Structure 1
Amino acid sequence: MQPLIITIMGKDKPGLVDALAKCVYQHEANWLGSSFAHMAGQFTGFVEVHVPANKHADLVEALNRLPDLSVQSVTPAKGPASFNDTLAVQIIGNDKPGIVQELTKILNQFNLNIVSFTSRCESAPNWGNEIFKAEAVIAVPEAFDDDALQTALEGIANDLVVDITTQN
């Protein structure tokens, strides 16, 4: 079996994931994991599959023929990533331009790897401005100082709330 990462994007409508799943199944591939989102009227996401070597090219060709989707397939690099210690980081604060860049800059300064990252803005019901919310899972070295990271992240803005928990 060969690993294959499939990225998709298209105008959102019912049946897109079903069409993708049928295509994967018809080529005897195993659906290992996926993440999808709806943004600005578009449906986007990625899927990891394992496909028999003799079906790989046929699956890629079939994926490219799917209607209403822009599909890109990538064969991942050798050797799966392994993360022994991870932290879950939740961040809430007033939205402002550059907040994601400020957050990722700090993670990079600590030489941390982002395993997953989701963010969104929501209307603050009593204030009328946007509240930024983000959730990240980050890989950290053994015996990492969570407190130093929390202090650095909270230093971005006075109103930023950061919650860090260890994951197993």
Structure 2
Amino acid sequence: MKSIVITLVGNDKPGLIDSIAKAISNAQGNWLASSFAHMAGHFAGFAEIQIPEENEAALLATLENHPDLKITLSEGVSGQQAEMRKATIDIEANDRQGIVKELTHVLNTFNLNIMQFDSVCESAPNWGNLMFKATAEVDLPLDLDTQELQSALEDLSDDLMVDIKL
């Protein structure tokens, strides 16, 4: 079995995931994990599957001809990684241009791998300004001082609130 990642994007409509799942099942593939989102009328996401190597070309041909999605396949990557612990970082602040760049730069400074990042801007209750909210799931080295990380993030601005859960 071969591990591959399917990346897809297109205009959203009902039945997109079903059509991909059918193609994978018909190629005797096993759906391992996925993440999909709807945003501004578009659908995007990726899925990790395992498939018999001899069926990969047929699956690729089927997916390349999908009428509604642009789809690419990439080989899965595996390897030995240093021992890590998972953390979820919740962030909230007044929205401003460049906030994601600032946050990800701090995480990169600590050499953290972002496993998942979700963000949204919402109208703040009572005063209507946009509030930026994000959740980052990261791999932390066992010896990383989370208080130092939290301080570095909070130092970005006076209105930024950070909560780190291990």
TM-score band w.r.t. shorter chain = over 0.9
Alignment of 1:12-161 (within 5 A): 12-79=12-79, 84-161=84-161
Judge which range, 84-93 or 43-52, deviates more.
84-93
Match of 1:162, SS state, is: strand
- How far off its partner does 1:82 sit? 6.8
Structure 1 position 4 matched with structure 2 position 4: yes
Moved over 4 A (4+): 80-83
- How far off its partner does 1:19 sit? 0.6
- How far off its partner does 1:81 sit? 5.7
C-alpha distance in 2 between matches for 1:45 and 1:73: 12
Sequence identity (%): 47
C-alpha distance in 2 between matches for 1:151 and 1:122: 25
C-alpha distance in 2 between matches for 1:25 and 1:131: 42
On the 8 A contact 1:95/1:130 being kept in 2, the answer is yes
C-alpha distance in 2 between matches for 1:141 and 1:46: 26
Deviation per residue, 1:85-135 (Å, 9 max, x gap): 121100011110000000011011111111111111111131111111111
Match of 1:37, SS state, is: strand
Task: In structure 1, give the amino acid aligned to 2:96.
Answer: K
C-alpha distance in 1 between matches for 2:44 and 2:56: 22
On the 8 A contact 1:2/1:50 being kept in 2, the answer is yes
Task: In structure 2, give the amino acid aligned to 1:51.
Answer: I
The alpha-carbon distance between structure 1 residues 114 and 52, as it changes in their structure 2 partners (threshold 3 A), is same
Query: How many residues are aligned here?
Result: 166
**TM-score normalised to the size of structure 2?**
0.95
- How far off its partner does 1:79 sit? 2.6
Structure 1 vs Structure 2 CA RMSD: 1.3
C-alpha distance in 1 between matches for 2:76 and 2:3: 7
C-alpha distance in 2 between matches for 1:149 and 1:78: 28
Unaligned runs of 5+ in 2: none
Task: In structure 2, give the amino acid aligned to 1:99.
Answer: I
C-alpha distance in 2 between matches for 1:81 and 1:44: 28
C-alpha distance in 1 between matches for 2:87 and 2:35: 20
Match of 1:85, SS state, is: strand
Matched with 1:163 is: 163
C-alpha distance in 1 between matches for 2:129 and 2:67: 39
- How far off its partner does 1:60 sit? 1.0
